[in-house]
Amino acid sequence: METELQVYVNGEYVPKSKATVSVFDHGVLYGDGVFEGIRAYSGSVFQLDPHVDRLFASANYIQLKIPLDKDKITRVILETLRRNKLKDAYIRVVVTRGVGDLGVSPESCREPTLFVIAEPVSSALGPKEPKVVRVIISSVRRDSVDATTHEVKSLNYLNSILARLEAANAGADDAVMLDSRGFVSEGTVTNVFAVIDGVVYTPRTSSAILHGITRARIIRLCRELGLKVVEREITPFELVSANEVFMAGTKSEILAVGSVNGRLVGAGRAGTTTKLLLQEFTKLVTKKEEGTPIYAEESLEV
């Protein structure tokens, strides 16, 4: 009989089937909380410290107190992976405002809810062709930076869900969303890059994007490979007319965009730069300096 995965919930490790939160939790009622999606490759958690830092930055912005400090959160993540004997995994860390009443005010929430899920995924290691996706430019705009900014990785993904539904209805795989000014912002769960005449462009953070951990590492990877990379506004016309377009995120890794609104991007397949970046990205994800080993220490319960 297959062993059931263990989930960390508020200080306890429980079977997946018994991992629950209250219907009065403000994360359920109002999307009031923050989260991180993290990857483990071959026994090492990729970019763990930056992910934990971003979790705390998101929580600080919405005035949510995380019940554990950064060191203890890190230990919980590693222990969750160990208990499930995972080496290649997708990890979800979630902090909600906690149980409260039916009013929107967070004052009724006395204690935050914290849970960590880790599930096995196939390793990305080894050379392979990037997956090619078809996207549309969604009519759903990214919320502006002075509204419910997407710089906060919050539990409210309705903006992305509506755009993904629009893409599905159009027969596409995903959507690219624009900011309130009409410039390219990001995908529903990924950051966007466009290769134009040998230069890699990506939207500025002022275009209402998440400060992607994978995005930041790809920008640095481009520079390490001698590729010129520029952060600036990108118009829909430039996106459609680019030589290559690719999308990147923790779970998605690197996806080649074959078409935008039915118009081919380049030859409609992964371009030279996209292929190169995926090949080099798969090499670095298990480098010692890029990750935190899961099994290097004895198990530390929290």
The predicted model scores a pTM of 0.94
> Is 153 tagged catalytic?
yes
Predicted confidence (pLDDT) at residue 1 exceeds the cutoff of 70: no
Contact predicate 199/229, CB 8 Å: yes
Predicted confidence (pLDDT) at residue 70 exceeds the cutoff of 90: yes
pLDDT for 64: 97
Listed by start position, the domains of the chain span 6-122, 131-284
Which two tokens mark 60? 């600080």
Predicted confidence (pLDDT) at residue 3 exceeds the cutoff of 80: yes
pLDDT for 194: 98
pLDDT for 124: 60
Predicted confidence (pLDDT) at residue 266 exceeds the cutoff of 80: yes
> What mean pLDDT value characterizes the chain?
94
pLDDT tens-digit readout, 10-69: 999 999 999 999 999 999 999 999 999 999 999 999 999 999 999 999 999 999 999 999
**Given this chain, do its domains 6-122 and 131-284 carry the same CATH topology?**
no
Class for the domain spanning 131-284: alpha beta
Rounded Cα distance between 150 and 157, Å, is 9
- The correct answer on CATH 3.40.50.11540 for the domain covering 6-122 is no
Q: Which of 85, 153, 251, 275 is catalytic?
A: 153
pLDDT for 297: 60
pLDDT for 272: 97
How many residues in total does the chain contain? 302
Which two tokens mark 63? 């005035």
Contact predicate 35/51, CB 8 Å: no
